[in-house]
């Protein structure tokens, strides 16, 4: 297969972890005889510094022309300490999601046996957890009208949803549930919000098209408790943008390290893959950032194009690195490998699955 991939590595640890993901994709291309081409482009703080724009037109064009975008992370201390700045890295990301029509953000949350002891949660609570979260990504309070009056005595944010915006992501989530354990939980605050009541109405209607899937309804406050107390009860979770931001980050604690979680953002014509961690500026260029989340994003990219055994080869290699504790300091504080060495191991293991573990 031929794939043109836009690479937006962004700020902080973005470039170093994304470089490992690109390298791993090159190994896959080599072993499975594909042609992947990579085109780098600016986004976030680094784009502001170089062009004054967190999402330069050229970057957007490159992404629109590519088959897929591999994204690193954005955010720099300058902007994090000054969230009221008018030009901000986040604006680039929000605009990119909107322009690429990425309306579904998909995050798998799996309790890996090799990592289960890293979680702050007890083993017996999380063992066997396998959740797939569908977060609506291009509407809601993120994109509604924002107001602040001149003397800063009043501000507002509007949360808006249309039926069509709910339908398209809901169909994706139901289809995913059909291929899994056939349970979908809609997370909302329908006892308070009109938008949540619209979500319930539309999702209930759509559920008639997916009779094999059981629909559950859960308030967001209760979900925040249930996902910790009894995570195994969940199969697919569907929710709106802001609740999805909070709940899917919370769910990270099940996996044990935020350095291991990847996500796919999907639309009708474009797609983007990224680690869910932030830019972790303090760690920049120290070789301590965990590249696995970024490498897993590359695996999700392959899955999206039906390259299932290729994605599997990456996961096998990651698993091997976890099993042999060939990992960065977040997972292996006493005897860590560098970001690049972890990437090298996974690269080698993909090319020589049998014997590459003897290199370390």
Q: Which residues in this chain contact ligand IPM in the complex, by CB under 6 A?
A: 90, 93, 191-192, 221, 245
- Report whether 9 contacts 38 (CB < 8 A): no
Closest by alpha carbon to 187, among 126, 155, 233, 129? 233
Give the binding range for its own copies (CB under 8 A) out of 46-54, 76-84, 290-298, 321-329: 76-84
Residue 160 binds its own copies (CB under 8 A): yes
Closest by alpha carbon to 244, among 168, 133, 328, 100? 133
Q: Contacting its own copies (CB under 8 A), which of 246, 304, 324, 325?
A: 246
CA-to-CA distance for 39 and 31, rounded, in angstroms? 21
Q: Contacting its own copies (CB under 8 A), which of 1, 29, 172, 258?
A: 258
Q: Which residue has the tokens 């760690």?
A: 283
The two tokens of residue 113 are 């046996």
- Report whether 213 contacts 177 (CB < 8 A): yes
Residue 200 binds its own copies (CB under 8 A): yes
Residue 172 binds its own copies (CB under 8 A): no
- Closest CB to its own copies among 244 and 343? 244
Residue 228 binds its own copies (CB under 8 A): yes
CA angle 210-242-10, nearest 5°?
Answer: 110
Q: Contacting its own copies (CB under 8 A), which of 35, 86, 150, 154?
A: 154
- Report whether 298 contacts 21 (CB < 8 A): yes
- Closest CB to its own copies among 113 and 221? 221
- Report whether 37 contacts 20 (CB < 8 A): no
- Closest CB to its own copies among 139 and 294? 139
Supply the minimum distance, in Å, between the C-beta of residue 314 and its own copies. 25
- Report whether 128 contacts 119 (CB < 8 A): no
Residue 86 binds its own copies (CB under 8 A): no
By three-state DSSP, how is residue 264 classified? Answer: strand
**Cα Rg of the chain, angstroms:** 20
Q: Residue 280, by phi and psi: left (phi above 0), alpha (psi -120 to 50) or beta?
A: left
CA-to-CA distance for 105 and 264, rounded, in angstroms? 6
By three-state DSSP, how is residue 10 classified? Answer: strand
Supply the minimum distance, in Å, between the C-beta of residue 263 and its own copies. 13
Give the binding range for its own copies (CB under 8 A) out of 18-26, 39-47, 217-225, 279-287: 217-225
Q: Contacting its own copies (CB under 8 A), which of 37, 50, 65, 156?
A: 156
Closest by alpha carbon to 163, among 200, 134, 192? 200
Q: Contacting its own copies (CB under 8 A), which of 2, 35, 150, 152?
A: 152
Which strand (E) or helix (H) includes residue 39?
Answer: strand 35-40
Residue 52 binds its own copies (CB under 8 A): no
Give the binding range for its own copies (CB under 8 A) out of 60-68, 240-248, 283-291, 317-325: 240-248
Supply the minimum distance, in Å, between the C-beta of residue 77 and ligand IPM. 14
Q: Contacting its own copies (CB under 8 A), which of 67, 99, 130, 157?
A: 157
Q: Contacting its own copies (CB under 8 A), which of 90, 99, 130, 303?
A: 90
Please choose which of ligand IPM, its own copies, none residue 303 contacts, taking the beta carbon within 5 to 8 angstroms, the exact cut-off set by kind: none
Q: Contacting its own copies (CB under 8 A), which of 49, 58, 113, 194?
A: 194
- Report whether 284 contacts 140 (CB < 8 A): no
Residue 249 binds its own copies (CB under 8 A): yes
- Whole-angstrom CA distances from 174 to 185, 203, 247, 269 are 10, 9, 19, 20
| Binding site residues, its own copies, CB under 8 A | 80, 83-84, 88, 90, 94, 120-122, 125, 141-142, 144, 146-148, 152-164, 189-198, 200-201, 220-222, 224-225, 228-229, 242-243, 245-247, 249-250, 252-253, 258
């Amino acid at each position: 297969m031929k794939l043109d991939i836009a690479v937006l590595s962004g700020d902080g640890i973005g470039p170093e972890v994304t470089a490992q993901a690109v390298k791993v994709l090159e190994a896959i291309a080599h072993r499975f005889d594909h042609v992947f081409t990579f085109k780098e482009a600016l986004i976030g703080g680094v784009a502001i510094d170089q062009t004054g724009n967190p999402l330069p037109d050229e970057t957007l064009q490159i992404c629109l022309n590519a088959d897929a975008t591999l994204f690193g992370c954005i955010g720099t201390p300058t902007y994090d300490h000054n969230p009221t700045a008018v030009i901000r890295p986040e604006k680039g990301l929000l605009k990119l999601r909107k322009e690429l029509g990425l309306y579904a953000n998909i995050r798998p949350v799996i309790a890996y046996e090799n990592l289960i002891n890293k979680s702050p949660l007890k083993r017996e609570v999380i063992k066997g957890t396998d959740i797939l979260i569908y977060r609506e990504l291009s509407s809601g309070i993120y994109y509604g009208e924002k107001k602040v009056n001149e003397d800063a005595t009043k501000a507002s944010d509007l949360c808006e949803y249309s039926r069509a915006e709910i339908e398209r992501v809901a169909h994706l989530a139901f289809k995913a549930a059909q291929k899994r354990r056939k349970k979908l939980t809609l997370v909302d605050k329908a006892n308070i919000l009109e938008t949540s009541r619209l979500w319930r109405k539309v999702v209930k209607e759509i559920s008639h098209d997916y009779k094999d899937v059981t629909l559950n309804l859960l308030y967001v406050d209760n979900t925040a408790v249930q996902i910790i107390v009894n995570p195994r009860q969940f199969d697919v979770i569907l929710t709106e943008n802001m609740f999805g931001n909070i709940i899917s980050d919370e769910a990270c604690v099940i996996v044990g390290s935020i350095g291991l979680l990847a996500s796919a953002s999907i639309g009708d014509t474009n797609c983007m893959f990224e680690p869910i961690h932030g830019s972790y500026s303090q760690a920049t260029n120290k070789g301590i950032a965990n590249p696995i989340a970024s490498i897993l994003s590359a695996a999700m990219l392959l899955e999206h194009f039906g390259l299932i055994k290729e994605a599997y080869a990456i996961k096998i290699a990651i698993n091997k690195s976890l099993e042999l504790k060939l990992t960065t300091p977040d997972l292996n504080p006493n005897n860590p490998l560098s970001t690049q060495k972890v990437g090298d191991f996974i690269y080698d293991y993909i090319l020589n699955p049998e014997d590459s573990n003897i290199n370390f």
